[in-house]
Amino acid sequence: MNINLIFQIAGVAIIVSALHTMLKMAGKEDFAWLLTLAGIVLVLTMVIRVISDFMDAVKTMFNLY
Amino acid sequence: MLLLKLAGAVLVVGAGAALGHAVSQRYRQRPRELQQFQRALELLVTEISYAVSPLPHALGRAGVGTTYPVREVFSGAASRLASGGLVTAGDGWTAALDAATPALSLNAADLEIIRSLGAVFSMPGAREQVRHLELACRRLAQHESAARADESRYARLALQLGVLGALALTIVLL
């Protein structure tokens, strides 16, 4: 398990939440939500490989091939 | 390898901060430039209506109290008109404004007001010119108050967006 991935996701989450708050304070709610969506997509692309590996492991464990 | 990554991260954050700073500087400069144009136009009105100076001289005098990009417009127009040739007052003003536009932080609507002054300078009759210049001043004042609101809202935001966006990119790339 790569621990760096967890720290990367945490870092992205902190920065996206800070940017969301700032944009909301500046009255740009639509941009704030777009940015949050972009953050979610970014994190999903980061974890998609791990989820895929997890699914493969489940399939192997229960002989689902 | 770690040193190289660290240097790359510093470069990315530095570039993001510089980008944010450049955008925030445009927000900060816009109200100042609009204010300088207003002051210069007020001076120009005085030169035209009371001192009855010739236009090249009046434009030169109006630009004296202004700083770099705004001064370029007035001094450029004055020198174009003073150099003679077949340059009308409107053409000289528009050419000087076009030359200075890349350095100005004004948006298209602000520039349109200032560009329309070219037609005012070509008008016969000082009274008409003064009336139009005063109208342009009032419109610039409205734009200035909107620009000040934008400055207080977005100048810091742009800087923080640049730095935090660069930090997010660094975290993803590391």
Q: What is the ipTM of this complex?
A: 0.70
Would you say residue B56 has pLDDT above 70? yes
Q: Return the ∠ at Cα B45 (arms to B52 and B87), rounded to 5°.
A: 70
pLDDT in tens, A3-31: 888 988 999 999 999 999 988 888 888 99
Measured CA to CA in angstroms, residue B32 lies from A19, B25, B58, B127, B161 at distances of 28, 11, 22, 28, 23
pLDDT above 90 coverage of chain B, percent: 35
Closest CA to B162 of B16, B43, B1: B16
Inform me whether the C-beta atom of residue B103 falls under 8 Å from chain A C-beta atoms: no
The pair of structure tokens assigned to B51 is 């001192």
Q: Provide the CA A51 distance to its chain's centre, in angstroms.
A: 12
CB count within 10 Å of CB A58 equals 10
The pair of structure tokens assigned to A56 is 């493969």
- Rounded distance, CA B124 to CA A15, Å? 60
pLDDT in tens, B85-95: 667 878 888 88
Residues of A with CB under 8 A from a CB of B: 8, 11-12, 15-16, 18-19, 22-23, 26-27, 42, 46
pLDDT in tens, B97-145: 998 889 888 889 989 999 888 888 777 777 888 888 889 999 999 999 9
User: What is the per-residue pLDDT for B74?
Assistant: 87
Yes or no: say if B117 and B136 are a contact pair by the CB < 8 Å rule.
yes
Q: What are the chain B neighbours of A19 within 8 Å (beta carbons)?
A: 160-161, 164-165, 168
Q: What are the chain B neighbours of A46 within 8 Å (beta carbons)?
A: 172
- Rounded distance, CA B145 to CA B131, Å? 22
The structure's pTM equals 0.77
CB within 8 Å: A22 and B160: yes
Interface of B with A in 115-174 (CB under 8 A): 153-154, 157, 160-161, 164-165, 167-168, 171-172, 174
User: What is the per-residue pLDDT for A1?
Assistant: 59
pLDDT in tens, B3-46: 999 999 999 999 999 999 999 999 999 999 999 999 998 988 88
Q: Provide the CA B108 distance to its chain's centre, in angstroms.
A: 11
Among B24, B150, B164, B170, most A C-beta atoms within 10 A, so best to mutate, is: B164
